[in-house]
Chain A
Amino acid sequence: MNGAEQVAIEARKQDIRSRWILSAPALIIIFVAAIGPLFVMLLYSFLVKGDYGDVKPWEFSLDGWTSVFFQRDIFDDTLGLADAHISIIWRSIQLSFFTTILTLILGFPTAYFIATRPPHTREIWVFLVTIPFWTNLLIRTFAMQQVIRNEGLLNNALIWLGIIKSPLQIIYTDTANLLGMTYVYLPLMVLPLYASIEKLDFRLVEAGYDLYATRFQVLRKIVIPLVKPGIIAGSILVFIPSLGAYVIPRVLGGGKNMMLGNLIEMQFGAGRNWPLGAAMSITLMILVMVALIVYVRNASRGGSGHV
């Protein structure tokens, strides 16, 4: 090894060292605030639950994980499927899926409308879309409760118009959850959709019409493929918080229509089963990751060529 090489290696080492030092603050935050707590959760999920909540330190057990999907029969101690848990997880997935679809159906025309306004009026529309963010989620959810409850705005209006005789039972059903989540998460769909529709070259739409495409074909063959990044981003932004929703099902769904978020909260609260809560939290995270991978894979297939 000659001298020059040694100097070069030394310089590279110096370089690497200074990079580590420079990125240390960010790394510390990530470890303390994100990865650290995850490891705590992972550890807790393998511990034995404490008698009054908490866990028994360093007593390991797989009970937390098995009780995510299974439960022991009280009388004969056999292992059976935890129907309640599975139905709640399944409901969460379904509701999140339909919320995503519903926000997409409502958000796409909205975003398209905004993107096709003259530039200076677009800003006003975007501003209007973001207004709900000024208010706390809890307050917005209570507002929704006021609209859909039995003596609420919607039912009173429908009765007054003579469309229905007795109030519709919307509150404390899955429909209420769906309506609430759609309302709360709609801006998260509209904004990324708008961002990508706004970038759409509308001469391509004209070219489509010129080449004998109908309105529907222009939408399906030109607009949707080109704004796909916005559709993917919006769907991800809506699906993830929907899956972990807590406040909305708590206020609108009542006790019967729990979602995964409420089930997890229960384990840390009244249920006094922290390992189960931890295992469920990680299950939720895995669900989100699997959904993301499946979705992004499917969505990016077929849309070759464009970046």
Chain B
Amino acid sequence: MTESRTTAAHGGAIGLHGIKKWFGNFQAVDNVTLDIRPNEFFTLLGPSGCGKTTLLRMIAGFEMPTEGQVLLDGADISGLLPNQRPVNTVFQNYALFPHLTVAENIGFGLKMLGRPKAEITSVVNDMLKLVHLDGRGHNPVTQLSGGQQQRVALARALAPRPKVLLLDEPLSALDLKLRKSMQIELKRLQLETGITFVFVTHDQEEALTMSDRIAVMSAGTVRQVGSPWDIYDRPAERFVADFIGETNFLSADVVSVADNRARVRLSSGAEISASFPADVTPSGSVTVVVRPEHARAGAPTDTSALRGVVHDIVYLGTDTHVHVHLDDGSAFMVRQQNARSGHCGFSKGDTVGIDFSDDVAQILRD
């Protein structure tokens, strides 16, 4: 058990260089360049049809890039067939072999690699323990529950000790509770095996929970790459800010730029400090984003950054959403955590002032 984990503790690095992929007249992937580091939990996040699965299938070898290269630890693997790449996939609907038992499924890859029987048996047993299916080796896979099938699919893909594990929305077929526990489980497996995980999902929460780094994709291109914190708190552009979580967009004018902070004047006349993406120098009129939970609503004061009228109050159990119509006509939402039970303190039609700390505003690229 311990031996298998230590020997497997090498994840491969994936390099995608200038990848383009056309299906007939449709361009699925447009000039994607990404470097996925060894031992990393890397997520490709985006809405359906953004090209994330196509990108994954090109790493696996099921699709060939029309242009560009796929590198594994620096070596070009673009021309290799799927069965020649030390990369395994966990498929969206598991794709378990229905005519084989759990153990035969898990051992399939090793058997195809021509490993000795004794080795296959011991690895399969290790894998069964790793995914908490000890003693279920002889069951037909068709008799397992969805969550168990999921874990067999994981064990099957991990058994040959690939350098990179590709996961194509593996949790989408599970119910919410199971999905949550599998998220933790996946993260644990990644840490224990040390294998590089490339995870594809459209679920932002999944991406934020598990990933070391996230690439947000849209329409075949990568919009932003960064840690979950970067992606959530420092979105570089409108698509990323909008796709991940809820957010408020404010128009503002740049007053001054110093180091990596800018002073911007909001429509209300208040000046706040905002950060901006490293590759732009903001000037003129810009869009600033503020996350709802980073804003506070209270009685209006002279120093309030924004002022408006409460339009709606939505109680969500853990939080309360306060929807405000700002004086300039735009909408703004404040999310307050319900630290105490009882009413949030506002009612519809109240005039409120909105404040936020200096480091929460972010200027978008456009």
Contacts and interface: CB of A to CB of B under 8 A. Distances in A.
Interface string B96-133: 11111100000011001100000000000000000000
A170 to B, nearest CB: 41
Interface string B146-184: 000000000011001000000000000000000000000
A210 interface: yes
A212 B93 contact: no
Contact of B88 (A203, A210, A303): A210
Contact of A305 (B140, B157, B160): B140
Contacts of B109: 211-212
A211 B160 contact: yes
Most B Cβ at <10 Å: residue of A204, A210, A217:
A210
Given A212-B83, A213-B83, A214-B83, A207 B113 contact: no
Contacts, number: 74
B62 interface: yes
Contacts of A305: 98-101, 140-142
A243 B134 CA distance: 51
Contacts of A210: 60-62, 82-83, 87-89, 157
B258 interface: no
B95 A212 contact: no
B95 A209 contact: no
Contacts of B60: 210
A17 interface: no
Contact of A203 (B91, B99, B140): B91
A209 B108 CA distance: 11
Contact of A209 (B81, B98, B100, B157): B81
Interface string A195-220: 00000010110111111111001000
B89 A207 contact: yes
A217 B142 contact: no
A289 B83 CA distance: 44
Contacts of B96: 207
A23 interface: no
Contacts of A53: none
Given A210-B82, A304-B140, A204 B95 contact: yes
A305 to B, nearest CB: 4
Interface in A216-237: 217, 221-222, 225-226
Q: For chain B, what secondary structure do more than half of its interface residues adopt (helix, strand, loop), or is it mixed?
A: mixed
A306 interface: yes
A208 B156 CA distance: 11
B238 to A, nearest CB: 36
A212 B112 CA distance: 6
A209 B84 CA distance: 9
Given A212-B83, A212-B160, A305-B142, A226 B99 contact: yes
A207 B91 contact: yes
A206 B98 contact: no
Contacts of B95: 201, 203-204, 206-207
A122 to B, nearest CB: 20
Most A Cβ at <10 Å: residue of B62, B81, B95, B140:
B95
A39 B338 CA distance: 87
Nearest to B140: A305
A213 B112 contact: yes
A211 B156 contact: yes
A304 B99 contact: yes
A222 B101 CA distance: 13
A211 B112 contact: yes
A206 B142 CA distance: 19
Nearest to A212: B112
Interface string A174-212: 000000000000000000000000000101101111111
A212 to B, nearest CB: 4
Contact of A207 (B97, B141, B142, B160): B97
Nearest to B60: A210
B6 to A, nearest CB: 23
Contacts of B140: 304-306
Contacts of B112: 208, 211-214, 217, 221
Nearest to A218: B83
A206 B101 contact: no
Given A211-B160, A305-B142, 8 more contacts: A201-B95, A204-B95, A207-B89, A207-B95, A211-B83, A211-B157, A221-B112, A305-B100
22 contacts: A201-B95, A207-B97, A208-B97, A209-B61, A209-B62, A209-B81, A209-B83, A210-B61, A211-B83, A211-B88, A211-B108, A211-B160, A212-B83, A212-B112, A212-B160, A217-B112, A221-B108, A303-B99, A304-B140, A305-B140, A305-B141, A306-B140
